[in-house]
Amino acid sequence: MMSAEPTLQAPGRTNRDVIGSVSADANAQAGNSWRDADDLRWAARHWATRIGVRLRQVHIRPMTSKWASMSTAGRLTLNPELLALPQELGEYVVVHELVHLLAPNHGKLFKSFMLAYLPDWEQREQDLRRYEPALISPDNPR
């Protein structure tokens, strides 16, 4: 008997159109874009459940110099510019922030968790750096 990994389904969506974070195959597809902010929020809640951390709030608001932040109280704030990125990079940002609830700094434990949840996290991190200049503009200095 084959056991399938349980997946969360977004309300009002079928398993076929759920965002790319649900399966490894979908995760591997580069270039998928987010449909809207609700997709990004859903991905954050999905990953929080998968990682086993409590996510109390997900906010999307403009941020001047970073993609996201995570409070120790479980409040995840995401930059709306993530909506313009491929899903795999947005997921990297979400998982990175959620893992901070397990390991507050970027030490060995943090990297071990990242490897466990996103085996290609280092490539995603590198790919994300191509987009970082978009966060810096004359109106938006760091």
Domain extents for the chain?
32-135
Q: Which amino acid is residue 113, in one-letter code?
A: F
Q: What is the mean pLDDT of the chain?
A: 79
DSSP letter for 45, please.
H
Flag whether pLDDT at 18 surpasses 90: no
User: Residue range 14-34: average pLDDT?
Assistant: 44
Q: Note the pLDDT of residue 142.
A: 40
pLDDT tens, position by position, 106-138: 999 999 999 999 999 999 999 999 988 666 554
Q: Note the pLDDT of residue 31.
A: 52
Flag whether pLDDT at 51 surpasses 80: yes
Q: Are 10 and 42 in contact (CB under 8 A)?
A: yes
For the structural domain made of 32-135, what CATH number should be given? 3.30.2010.10
Residue 40 sits at φ, ψ, to 5 deg, of: -65, -45
Q: Are 76 and 96 in contact (CB under 8 A)?
A: no
Instruction: Work out the burial of residue 125: count CB atoms within 10 Å of its CB; fewer than 13 is exposed, 13-18 middle, 19 or more buried.
Output: middle
Q: Are 48 and 55 in contact (CB under 8 A)?
A: yes
Task: With CA atoms as reference, report the closest residue to 90 among 39, 136, 135.
Answer: 39
Where residue 88 falls among pLDDT bands split at 50, 70, 90? Answer: very high
pTM over 0.85: no
